[in-house]
Amino acid sequence: MRELDYRDAIKEACIEEMDRDPRVFLIGEDIGVYGGAFRAYSGLLDKYGPERVINTPISEQAILGGAIGAALTGYRPVAEIMFIDFCTLAMDQIVNQAAKIKYMTGDALNVPMVLRTQGGAGRGIAAQHSQSLEAWFYHIPGLKVVMPATSYDVKGLLKTAIRDNDPVVFIEHKMIYLNKGPVPEEEYTIPFGVADIKREGKDVTIFAYSNMLFKALEAADDLAKEGISCEVFDPRTLVPLDIDALINSVKKTNKLVVVSEAAERGSIASDIMAIVNDKAFDYLDGPIKRVCGLNSAIPYNSKLEQACIPHKESIIKAVKEII
Amino acid sequence: MEKLSKELQVLMLKKLIEIRRFEERTVQYYQRSKIWGYLHPYIGEEAVAVGACTAIKKEDYIISTHRGHGHAIAKGADLNKMMAELFGKATGYCKGRGGSMHIADTELGMLGANGIVGGGIPISVGAGLSCKMENKGRVILCFFGDGAANNGVFHESVNMSAMFKLPVIYICENNLYAISMCSRDSVAGNDIAGRAKGYGIPGYKVDGSDVIEVFETVEKAVDYARKGNGPSLIEASTYIFLGHHPNDPAAYRPKGEAEHEKSKRDCLTNFKTKLINEKIITEAQIDEIEKDTEKRIDAAVEFAESSPEPELEKFLSEVMS
C-alpha cells in the first residue's frame, strides 16, 4: 500500500470532502499561500480559491464564531486554530456556543463544524505552544473529541468529522506531521467510537493515543523481548469512547496501563482509570497504572521538556510494576 | 426614500404593542414564579427590534442577545412557543431546555438569543460568510448592547466582517446600562457608532425610540450590504425602562432619569400619538389592536399552562446514550 505523511493524509481528506460537498470550506490563520503553520493545506488556496480557503486575521473568536455561524446557516466549516494553546482565546465560542447550541435550542439549530488544532510537547517551544489540553474539551458535553495518531486514522476520521452534524474538536500532534503510514488509494471513512487495537497481546493492556501511541508501541517491542505480551489499545476518539472494546481488552489481559502526555491532574488518563474501575473492576488482577505528563508548564530547555512527558522507559516501568 | 406606507406603519405599531404587552405579562408571571431563572425584559427598547426587523425579509437572519424576546417577536416568532418556553414546557421553542435566553427559530432565520454578552457577535460573522458564499443577497442583523461593545469580540468580528465585506448589520442597542454600569462610564469616547470610521465602514447614530428612524437607517444599511459593500454599524440610543431583570430596582440610576425617559421617549406612546396625529389610525382602532394582542397573549399563557413538562425519563435516556 502507498504511504502518506500524516499531514498529507489530512490534506487528502480535505480535498476529497471539498470535492464531494460544496458546503465544506476551510478557515483559519495563515492557511492561504502559507498553507497552514504545519503546511497541511499547501496548494489548497490555488486549488479552491479564497472563498473556500479563507485566510483570516488573528481573531480566534471570530474564526470559531465564523465557523459556528456558517454551520448554523447550511455550511460545513473546518476551522483551524493554529495551536491548541490558542483555543483559550476562544473558549466561549467552543464551550458556551458550539457545544451548547443544539441542546439549549431544543434541537432547532445544529453546528456541523470541525475545529482542527494541534498540541503536544517536543519542539522546544515552551509553555504556551506545547500543551495537551484535550481534557478541557473532553469535559464539555456537546463536543466530540478525536485524536488520531496514524496517517490512516487521521484521514478516515477527518472525513467522518467533516460529515458529522455536531461540533468536533480534532486534535493532531505537532511531532507526527511527517510520520509516514499506509493509506489506501480507495476512499474510506472511520466511524467515531471505534477503537483500534494497534498491537495484540495477552499480559497487559496499554491505553495510549496521539503521539503516546508510538511510545507505547516502542515499549511493547522492548517488553516482548523480555517475554511480556502487551496489547496496545488506541481509542482514536475520546468522545465518543469505545468503552466496550476497552473492557474486552481488560477482560483478556486483566491489567491496564493508561498513558497520556497531558499533565496528570484531571487528565483523560485519570478518567479512564475511573471508568474501568466502575465497569470492569472484577476483571483486574492489579491496580491500574497511569503514565502521564508532570503537573508542570512545559519548559524550553530540551532536557527539562523531555522530563515533563512520558517515554518508552516510563511506560515499561509502569508495566513491570503490575506484571 | 419613499414615504412609508400606512400599512407598514400600522404593522410596526402592532409589533410594538405585541412586544410591550408580552413583556409586561412575562414580568407578571415572573413575579408569580411561573417563570423563573433569568428574565430580561425589553420594555422601552421595542422600536429598535421592530424598526430593524421590518427593514429585512423573512429569509434574512437575525442574531440576538440575553434581552432577546423583542427581536424574536419582531422577526415573527410564535407567542405560544415563546411563552411555553418561558414556562419551561416541552412545547416551548427549546423544549424547556433553554428558557428565556436561548430562543431560536430556523424557519424565521432567528439564530438564537444568547446568554453570553457578546457571544452572538462572532456568530454573525459566520452567517455573513454563508450569505456571501451563497450569493442570494441575504443579510444578517446582529443585535448587541453597549456592554457587549466593550467586549474584545466586538473588535475581532467587525474587523473581520469589514475585511471580507460581509453583509452584516451591527445594531448596538445602547440602553445606557450593562446591568449597573452606565455606558457613559464604560465606553471611552462615548461614541460606539464613531468606531465605524476605524473599520472603514458606515456608522450611524439613531434615536432608538423612533421606530421610523431605526427602520430607515437599517434599510439603508441593508441595501448597502445586499449590494456587496459590506457591514455597517448602527448605534441606537434607547432606554431600558425596568432594571436589568424584574427584581432589580435599578437604584444605580440618577434620580428622575427613568421618569424623564418614560415620559418623553416612550417609543410606543410616541408612535401612537404620531399615527393618530397623521390620521393613519384612530384611537378606536388602536384599542382594537390592544384587545386583540391581549387575547393572543392570553392564548399563549393558556397554551403554556396546559402544556406538558419535559419528560425526565426521556432526558436521562438521552444523557446516557
- Say what the ipTM of the complex is: 0.94
pLDDT per residue over B229-241, tens digit each? 999 999 999 999 9
CA dihedral (A16, A20, A26, A32) in degrees, to 10, reads 60
CATH number of the domain at B6-320, please? 3.40.50.970
CA distance A36 to A174: 12
In chain B, the residue whose alpha carbon lies closest to the alpha carbon of A75 is: B130
Closest Cα in chain B, distance from residue A61 (Å): 6
State the catalytic residue, choosing from A29, A60, A134, A172.
A60
Query: Do the domains A196-322 and A3-182 match in fold?
Result: yes
pLDDT at B318: 78
Model confidence at B321: pLDDT above 60: no
Chain B residues inside the 8 Å CB shell of A92: 116, 119, 153
Average pLDDT over residues B107-131: 97
Chain B residues near residue A67 by CB distance under 8 angstroms: 126
Query: Which one of the listed residues A17, A129, A172, A305 is annotated catalytic?
Result: A129
Nearest CA in chain B to A92: B119
- Give residue limits of the domains in chain B: 6-320
Residues of A with CB under 8 A from a CB of B: 25, 27, 51, 54, 56-57, 59-62, 64-75, 77, 92-93, 96-97, 101, 103-109
More confident site: A274 or B2: A274
Count of A-B CB contacts under 8 Å: 126
Non-local (6+) Cβ contacts of A91 within 8 A are A136
> Which pLDDT tens digit goes with each residue over A103-125?
999 999 999 999 999 999 999 99
**Cβ contacts of A62 on chain B, cutoff 8 Å:** 122, 125, 153, 156-157, 159-160
> Which CATH superfamily includes the segment(s) A3-182?
Thiamin diphosphate (ThDP)-binding fold, Pyr/PP domains (3.40.50.970)
Average pLDDT taken over every residue of chain B: 96
Q: DSSP states of B192-249 as a string?
A: TGGGHHHHTS-EEEEETT-HHHHHHHHHHHHHHHHTT---EEEEEE---SS-SSTT--
Is there a catalytic annotation at residue A313? no
Nearest Cα of chain B lies from the Cα of A321 at a distance, in angstroms, of: 35
Q: Which CATH class is domain A196-322?
A: alpha beta
Residue B309: its chain A contacts at CB < 8 A? none
When pLDDT is cut at 50, 70 and 90, the band that residue B320 belongs to is low
Structural domain spans, chain A: 3-182, 196-322
Closest CA to A90 of A62, A114, A120: A62
Known catalytic residue at A173:
no
- Return the amino acid letter for A288: I
Choose the closest CB to A66 out of B96, B105, B129: B129
Identify the residue among A59, A91, A166 best suited for mutation to test binding to B, counting B beta carbons within 10 A and taking the highest.
A59
**Min Cα separation A185/chain B (Å):** 31
Examine the pLDDT at A248 and tell me if it is beyond 70: yes
CA–CA gap between residue A151 and residue A116 (Å, rounded): 15
What residues of chain B lie within 8 A of the CB of A60, using their CB?
A: 156
Give the DSSP letter string of A274-296: HHHHHHHGGG-SS--EEEEE-SS
Judge whether residue B2 has pLDDT over 80: no
Residue B274 buriedness (CB in 10 A; 0-12 / 13-18 / 19+): middle
HSE (side-chain half, CA atoms, 13 Å) at A90: 34
Model confidence over A146-205: pLDDT tens digits? 999 999 999 999 999 999 999 999 999 999 999 999 999 999 999 999 999 999 999 999
